[in-house]
A and B are shown apart, each in its own frame.
Chain A
Amino acid sequence: MTAPAAAPIEHPLLETRDLTRILPAVVPVTLVKDVSLRIGHSEFVAITGPSGSGKSSLLYLLGLLDRPTGGEVWISGTETDRLSSGELAHIRLEKIGFVFQFHFLLPEFTALENVMIPMQRLGKLPSREQHEHAEGLLAGLGLEDFLNRRPEQLSGGQRQRVAVARALANSPDLILADEPTGSLDSVATEQVFESLQKIVETQQTTIIAVTHDMDLANRMERRVHLVDGQIDYDRKQ
């Protein structure tokens, strides 16, 4: 028995229309082809597929880190194609949080400082509130005893949870996670996954996570499966 296809969403947080990304080369390489998606608020979406199927490429396009060669990306009703690189950066800062396979924390800064950096750049909160908010996020992920440790002084799972806290710093509508548990052991994987699940449940944040781990993908509410850069299926679970 097949799972039901994803139901149409009236006011999507994120929408792509025929999204295509072709790498220019002597023989052009198609990374993503004609992907049309509508993702709503508070969704927990897994992007799966075999290696080289375009999962990460799609994620970078959704996160406005890469520009498509065709199609459109809409975020909160804003078409992003014609925005300048500065405007795209501002959307990333305010509305999107990234979690990568490797923690990608700034090595010279402590866990607390790493989480505060996006807040400091956005500058919406006063300094004291930034500090309190960062502390709260880290404590919420079980890291209250590691605030002043540098990434090198943390375990892999702890680093990845700091990266999750940093992604949440500006209370984004969308978190994009690229193999967030890919480099972790099973215990740390479980901790990080639970953290992400808790975020969707408590903060109404949408999380789109690329994963190879079918167990995790099956625990998410929606799964988009890619093959050769195209959507093979998109279904609720």
Chain B
Amino acid sequence: MILLFRIAATHVRNRMRQTVVSTLGVALGVGFSVAMAGLMEGSQRDFMSTLIEAIPHVEIQDEQRAPALQPASERFDAVAFHGLRPKEDLRGIRNPTEALASLRDWVNGSMTQRLSGQAVLRYSGQDIGLTLTGVVPRDELDVSKIEDDMRQGSLKDLEVTSNGLVLGRKAAQRLGADVGDTVTLTSANGVAKRFKIVGLFHTGITASDEGFAYAPLKAVQILLEKPDIINSISIRLSDIGEANDVASRAERQLGYKAVSWEEANEGLMEAFFVRNVIMYTVVGAILVVAGFGIFNIVSTIVHEKAKDIAILKSLGFPETDIQQIFVLEGLVIGVLGAIAGSVLGFGLSSYLATVKFELTTDVEVTRLPIYFSVLHYAIACLLALFSSAIAGLIPARKAARLNPVDIIRGAT
């Protein structure tokens, strides 16, 4: 094999310019593949971590997966019922203190209770509709990252102000209100209550900044006329990998629908999968194009070295040896290209990681999220080598089948 490699290396070395061009083709393919994979996975991971930070790992909602059994179904053993008016039930998780205590026994993480509802906020003659969420500030801080988005005041201020309100900054700007102002909130049932703005937040998501507000749980329960009722329990786990297990156990235990972050974002996961398939298809296509360069040079060498092939065959080199020589030539270019491409990919990724973007005035400078993984290099290099081997194999088979007698006759 060393001898075959030496012969292959000699052939490749003698066509230096073409070898460099072909190697450059493979290197560009590998380099861009690595950089693209790093950017894709980086953006995916960045998005996922932002998502996981922003949403609860498990959320227990005040509804059941299947409609609750009606009293008639529980009492009578009938095949079907028709025309019965379903029993109206007040929505909400009752007795939340007991529910939370039962979860705290085994859930490894933090949890908070919430009651959300629609309300109209009035200030200086202007109204805006928003989703008002009643929270227990201390628990909420353990679960959500809202405190990081606070621009004025703090969520903790809700602990000391029983009618305190934390509002999105954009909503406050629309109303012309500021911290310290008193606003009126009116529930869907027509109950009105005055709240004092104690803090303003800015998440960068317009829907939240214009349409969400936080207030102490008790105050919201009074406003929405739902005493001792909540409509969700949010859990932040120490290990997000346990989310599905915790959700299914909590659902069995409490009877309410419990959704893990994975289930809640199932469509997103599929979208990422499809995106990765597209990315690797493009990467493959780039390397196939690079393979054409190798095919071209190896075919040229086979043509030029026909006499050498005849010599080697007359010396007793079998067809498999001849084939291996030319496959090795493709692989030599592939290996050189893969090495150069890995260096190029690393350089490109490192450069992209330093590029800064200023998207909005409110958000700090953003960098391109690049994820460095050995796997990206391994996949790109393996694809390059596979492509090179195939590109070398086609002319190599032709070389192996050359009839030495025809060549010798032609040369003499």
What is the interface of chain A, defined by CB distance below 8 A to chain B? 56, 60, 63, 65-66, 85-86, 89-94, 96, 98, 100-102, 104-109, 117-118, 120-122, 166, 178-179
Contact = CB atoms under 8 A, between A and B. Distances in A.
Interface of B: 2-3, 7, 10-11, 14, 307-308, 310-311, 313-321, 403-405, 408-409, 411-412
B315 A118 contact: yes
A100 B408 CA distance: 8
A45 B308 CA distance: 28
A89 B14 contact: no
5 contacts: A86-B319, A93-B316, A93-B317, A106-B311, A108-B14
B307 A89 contact: no
Contacts, number: 72
A105 to B, nearest CB: 8
A178 B411 CA distance: 12
Contact of B308 (A96, A102, A106): A106
B10 A90 contact: no
Given A101-B412, A109-B10, A85 B318 contact: yes
A115 B96 CA distance: 92
Given A108-B14, A121-B3, A89 B412 contact: no
Chain B, interface SS category: helix
A62 B409 CA distance: 16
Contacts of A179: 412
Contacts of B405: 60, 65-66
Contact of B315 (A86, A101, A102, A121): A121
B307 A104 contact: yes
Contacts of A92: 314-316
A85 B400 CA distance: 11
Q: Identify which of B307, B310, B311, B313 gathers the most chain A CB atoms within 10 Å of its CB.
A: B311
A60 B403 CA distance: 11
Contacts of A60: 405, 408
Nearest to B401: A85
Contacts of B307: 104
Contacts of B14: 108
Nearest to B10: A108
Given A65-B404, A106-B308, A109-B10, A89 B411 contact: no
Contacts of A94: 316
A101 B410 CA distance: 12
Nearest to A169: B315
Contacts of A166: 315
Given A65-B405, A102-B412, A178-B412, A121 B317 contact: yes
B3 A89 contact: no
Nearest to A87: B318
Nearest to A96: B316
Contacts of A102: 411-412
A17 to B, nearest CB: 21
A89 B318 contact: yes
B134 to A, nearest CB: 84
B3 A117 contact: yes
B317 A89 contact: yes
A91 to B, nearest CB: 8
B10 A89 contact: no
Contacts of B2: 120
Given A85-B318, A93-B315, 16 more contacts: A60-B405, A63-B314, A65-B313, A65-B404, A65-B405, A85-B319, A89-B318, A90-B318, A94-B316, A96-B316, A100-B408, A101-B412, A104-B307, A118-B315, A121-B321, A178-B412
A56 B410 CA distance: 13
B397 to A, nearest CB: 14
A35 B136 CA distance: 107
Contact of B412 (A66, A86, A100): A100
A117 B404 contact: no
A60 B409 CA distance: 10
A120 B3 contact: yes
A107 to B, nearest CB: 8
Contact of B409 (A56, A107, A118, A122): A56
B409 A104 contact: no
B165 to A, nearest CB: 84
B15 to A, nearest CB: 11
Contact of A89 (B11, B310, B313, B409): B313
Contacts of B313: 65, 89
Contacts of B3: 117, 120-121
A56 B409 CA distance: 9
Contacts of B314: 63, 65, 92, 98, 100, 104
A213 B307 CA distance: 26
Nearest to A63: B314
A86 B321 CA distance: 10
A139 B230 CA distance: 101
Nearest to A60: B405
A117 B315 contact: yes
Contacts of A117: 3, 315
Q: Which 5 A-B pairs rank lowest in CB-CB distance, beginning with the nearest?
A: A93-B316, A89-B318, A92-B316, A108-B10, A86-B318
A100 B314 CA distance: 10
A170 to B, nearest CB: 8
Q: Identify which of A56, A106, A107, A179 gathers the most chain B CB atoms within 10 Å of its CB.
A: A106
Contacts of B308: 106-107
B316 A121 contact: yes
Contacts of A104: 307, 310-311, 314, 408, 411
A108 B405 CA distance: 22
A92 B316 CA distance: 5
